[in-house]
Amino acid sequence: MSTNITLPAGAPEEVVTHALVRDIDLAAFGGKGSLALITLDNSLDHNRPNTFGPQSLSALDAAITDAIARKPEAIAVTGKPFIFAAGADLSALAFLNDHKQAMAIGKLGHDVFRRLGESKIPTFAFINGLALGGGLEVGLHCHYRTLSSTAFIALPEVFLGLVPGWGGATILPKLIGPERAVQVIMLNALNNNTMLKSKDALKLGVVDAVFDPADYLERSIAFAVGVLNGSTKIDRPDYSNDPAWETALATGKAAALKKYGGAEIASPTKALELIAAARKNDLGTGFDAEDKVLADLVMSDPLRSSLYAFNLIQKKRKKVEGAPKPALARKVAKVGVVGAGLMASQLALLLLRNLKCPVVMTDIDQERADKGVAWVKNELQKLVEKKRMSAESAARLALLISGSADQKTFANCDFIIEAIFEELSLKQELFKKLETIVSPECVLATNTSSLSVEAMTQGLKNPERVVGFHFFNPVAVMPLLEVARTSTTDDATTATAIAVGKELKKTMIICKDAPGFVVNRLLTRFMGEVTDAVDEGTPPAVADAAMMEIGFPMSPFQLLDLVGPGVALHVSETLHKNLGPRYRISPTMQRMVKDGVRNFYIKNEDGTYAPNPAAVALIEKGSSPSTAEQVRNRALKALAEEARSMLDEGVVSTPAEIDLCMLMGAGWPMHLGGILPYLDREGISEAVSGKRFHEKGVASLPDSK
């Protein structure tokens, strides 16, 4: 077969995964003859998992030829320590501009991997560690599979805007049936790429046996010997007449529509088509179909967008733009949390679980402080019940959390975060009091969402140790953390804040102390255009659904219900005061807050949602309705205008940071890439400001507009 594929111009050089062959004498395992063991290892880069580009596929192809020539009793494939293979090398995909070349890469993977499935010599995959995408597909082509008990496996392609295109979409439904295949290929991928633990992979039938890592290779070889001598039998049911096909496909479609707000997105749609075709297709026909679908997706803007978003997230998780040297960070051995309400309690739990140091909470009286501590301890117990934490670990952490009504308990804290009521005077008074208690080096952080951090430092002796530390709700789930520097925040404070954020496993951006920081400023402007349209007379259903067709998982009014009208109104009032009349204050929102109406939607008995009559009755009765397209255009233009202003003001230093914030803090859809590449592609950026945010070609095909 031809494995000579040249990467496109500009693509990064492939890190080659080598395939090394050695003979294993089966006599020591009670067998006869030998087993040819192929080990995948990109030994030149120990920090990077094995991946498959054209050269790596060629290396595996040569190794299979070598293994067959040795005339063994069996052939097995395994990986370097703790890593089997993380799938295709995606770094070159965004540089492809030829459909034939995309087809060739898909076909090359099939041609190499299928040699394992079509081999007359029994083949085994010894999946000794992480196996994702094409890495798992290598194993699926093999006749039998074992898995290390500590390994995780997944087919994340749909999450990335692709399909399992090297055999997974065809083989897996035949191997484990339609319901389980939809679970692995669709539902897990759409659920933020949930990976399978070993016990689940075994239960679903993806693998045939699970062994502990201590003697994993030896037991896997013994398993192979059992298969060869007939003492180990593996049943392979025929799922072609399984009555669950239609139900499974319907479940997958419903999940995709829910994930993308009712919009039909290419990758999940095509994945379902391939799963459905696997019922009757032979493997060759199925693989041909995968090649075409994969090439079509690779040559599409949604895939480029997903890759841009994915690579941006991975990069910014590791390195925070503009962060001071890590060596400047001070040690944090005790943490204080001011407040014991829900947000403060969530912060205390997160800090406790990740820093594993004493955490003390305070509130205006002991009863409230005790209530916050009790909430944290109850959440620890829930983690034990869900088997996400051992009872011993929970007990140790419970000893580290305490509560008090006396803020003097903060005296020896190294880091304090406040989460009290959003009123500037209260926060100013708090910081002045804390300054008389703590050391000059103790970092004072605020979780404010819209107030000026610099204003909180007025009158302080050490304003340089105050920093914005803005989390998103729910704290444990939302990955973004905005770190806001004032004009006086020093590098040691910022470095300490970044170090704490990394311990909390958050993705961070450093931004200027400006109203609303990044996410709330953009979201409030965006939501304001939608509520303005409703106040002007646009039917709520029309305005609220305006963005859904491009794949938003949540409508503006659903987001309003999540945030709460009170918080949303407070933020819009703050931004109106600081940034001017483009942040209009909705009379409908004012009435909802005044009358205590907390939700625009109410849940019906059947689980569906309907507009809350109490909220509908408070809507401003305007006489200038807009269409959905008009609402969408005005909202997107507002985003482009605000993003340009933020960059001009230096709120963040790069457009990519705005993209990251909207992806990680506002749920901007992965398939659209960052918000700014999307506005560029749609021509909105140039219409608003006369120029694009990114260079032409970012997150799009070279010939895109």
Indicate whether 94 and 181 sit together in one domain: yes
Q: 689 in a domain, yes or no?
A: no
Q: pLDDT (tens digit, 9 = 90+) per residue, 431-485?
A: 999 999 999 999 999 999 889 999 999 999 999 999 999 999 889 999 999 999 9
Instruction: Give residue 697's pLDDT band: very low, low, confident or very high (50, 70, 90).
Output: low
Q: What angle do CA 224, 227, 229 make, to 5 degrees?
A: 110
What's the domain range around 446? 326-512
Annotated active-site residue in 13, 14, 118, 157: 157
Q: 156 in a domain, yes or no?
A: yes
Annotated active-site residue in 73, 137, 179, 464: 137
Residue 529 a catalytic site member: no
Q: pLDDT (tens digit, 9 = 90+) per residue, 332-358?
A: 999 999 999 999 999 999 999 999 999
What are the helix and strand counts (H, E) for the chain? Answer: 29, 20
Q: pLDDT (tens digit, 9 = 90+) per residue, 479-492?
A: 999 999 999 999 99
**The dihedral of CA 304, 305, 307, 312: what is its sign?**
positive
Q: 685 in a domain, yes or no?
A: no
Q: 166 in a domain, yes or no?
A: yes
Among 512, 535, 570, which residue terminates a domain? 512
Instruction: Give residue 44's pLDDT band: very low, low, confident or very high (50, 70, 90).
Output: low
Q: pLDDT (tens digit, 9 = 90+) per residue, 620-634?
A: 999 999 999 999 999
* Distance, CA of 321 to CA of 654 (rounded, Å): 9
Q: 437 in a domain, yes or no?
A: yes
Asked if residues 404 and 363 have their Cβ atoms less than 8 Å apart, the reply is no
Count of beta carbons in the 10 Å neighbourhood of residue 648: 9
What pLDDT score was predicted for residue 704? 45
Indicate whether 471 and 570 sit together in one domain: no
Indicate whether 76 and 225 sit together in one domain: yes
Task: Look up the CATH number of the domain holding residue 625.
Answer: 1.10.1040.50
% pLDDT > 70, the chain: 97
Q: pLDDT (tens digit, 9 = 90+) per residue, 297-319?
A: 999 988 889 999 998 998 998 89
Among 462, 497, 512, which residue terminates a domain? 512
What pLDDT score was predicted for residue 608? 83
Q: Summarize the confidence of residues 252-269 as an average pLDDT.
A: 92
Indicate whether 561 and 437 sit together in one domain: no
Asked if residues 698 and 677 have their Cβ atoms less than 8 Å apart, the reply is yes
User: Would you say residue 252 has pLDDT above 60?
Assistant: yes
What pLDDT score was predicted for residue 702? 57
Domain count of the fold of the chain: 3
Q: Summarize the confidence of residues 414-425 as an average pLDDT.
A: 96
User: Would you say residue 391 has pLDDT above 90?
Assistant: yes
Q: What angle do CA 372, 373, 377 make, to 5 degrees?
A: 120
Indicate whether 136 and 204 sit together in one domain: yes
Q: Tokens representing 18?
A: 């080598």
Which alpha helices (H) appear in 144-215, and where do they start and end? 157-160, 168-176, 178-182, 188-190, 198-204
Indicate whether 527 and 499 sit together in one domain: no
Instruction: Give residue 667's pLDDT band: very low, low, confident or very high (50, 70, 90).
Output: confident
User: Would you say residue 416 has pLDDT above 70?
Assistant: yes
What pLDDT score was predicted for residue 550? 84
What global pTM score does this model have? 0.89
Indicate whether 217 and 330 sit together in one domain: no
Residue 649 a catalytic site member: no
User: Would you say residue 603 has pLDDT above 80?
Assistant: yes
Q: pLDDT (tens digit, 9 = 90+) per residue, 8-37?
A: 666 788 889 999 999 999 999 999 999 999
Q: Summarize the confidence of residues 567-595 as an average pLDDT.
A: 94
Helix (H) or strand (E) holding 415: strand 415-418
Burial (CB count <10 Å: 0-12, 13-18, 19+), residue 318: exposed
What pLDDT score was predicted for residue 46? 67
Indicate whether 249 and 212 sit together in one domain: yes
Which residue shows structure tokens 């399978």?
196
Among 280, 299, 318, which residue terminates a domain? 299
CA dihedral in degrees (83, 84, 86, 88; nearest 10)?
140
* Distance, CA of 40 to CA of 52 (rounded, Å): 10
Q: 320 in a domain, yes or no?
A: no
Task: Look up the CATH number of the domain holding residue 507.
Answer: 3.40.50.720
Print the SS3 string covering 634-658.
HHHHHHHHHHHHHHHHCCCCCHHHH
Task: Look up the CATH number of the domain holding residue 279.
Answer: 3.90.226.10
What pLDDT score was predicted for residue 301? 87
Q: Indicate the pairing of strand 415-418 with strand 443-446.
A: parallel
Q: 185 in a domain, yes or no?
A: yes
Indicate whether 409 and 553 sit together in one domain: no
**The dihedral of CA 202, 208, 211, 213: what is its sign?**
negative
Query: b/e string for 663-700 if b means 16 or more Cβ within 10 A?
Result: bbbbebbbbbbbbbbbbbbbebbeebbeebbbeebbbb
What pLDDT score was predicted for residue 7? 65
Indicate whether 207 and 182 sit together in one domain: yes
* Distance, CA of 456 to CA of 399 (rounded, Å): 33
What pLDDT score was predicted for residue 547? 87
* Distance, CA of 351 to CA of 448 (rounded, Å): 17
Asked if residues 332 and 499 have their Cβ atoms less than 8 Å apart, the reply is yes
Q: Tokens representing 621?
A: 């009765």
Rounded to whole angstroms, what are the CA distances from 649 to 469, 493, 607, 642, 643? Answer: 20, 23, 45, 10, 10
What pLDDT score was predicted for residue 705? 41
Q: pLDDT (tens digit, 9 = 90+) per residue, 142-193?
A: 999 999 999 999 999 999 999 999 999 999 999 999 999 999 999 999 998 8
Q: 693 in a domain, yes or no?
A: no
Determine the angle formed by the axes of helices 491-503 and 342-355, rounding to 10 degrees.
Answer: 80
Q: Tokens representing 1?
A: 């077969």
What pLDDT score was predicted for residue 261? 84
Indicate whether 36 and 92 sit together in one domain: yes
| Residue 241, C-beta contacts closer than 8 angstroms, at least 6 positions apart | none
Q: Summarize the confidence of residues 37-52 as an average pLDDT.
A: 86
Mean pLDDT of the chain: 94
Indicate whether 346 and 247 sit together in one domain: no
Q: Summarize the confidence of residues 652-670 as an average pLDDT.
A: 94
**The dihedral of CA 560, 562, 563, 565: what is its sign?**
positive
Amino acid (1-letter code) at residue 561: D
* Distance, CA of 35 to CA of 76 (rounded, Å): 7
Nearest to 445 by CA among 473, 424, 465, 460: 465
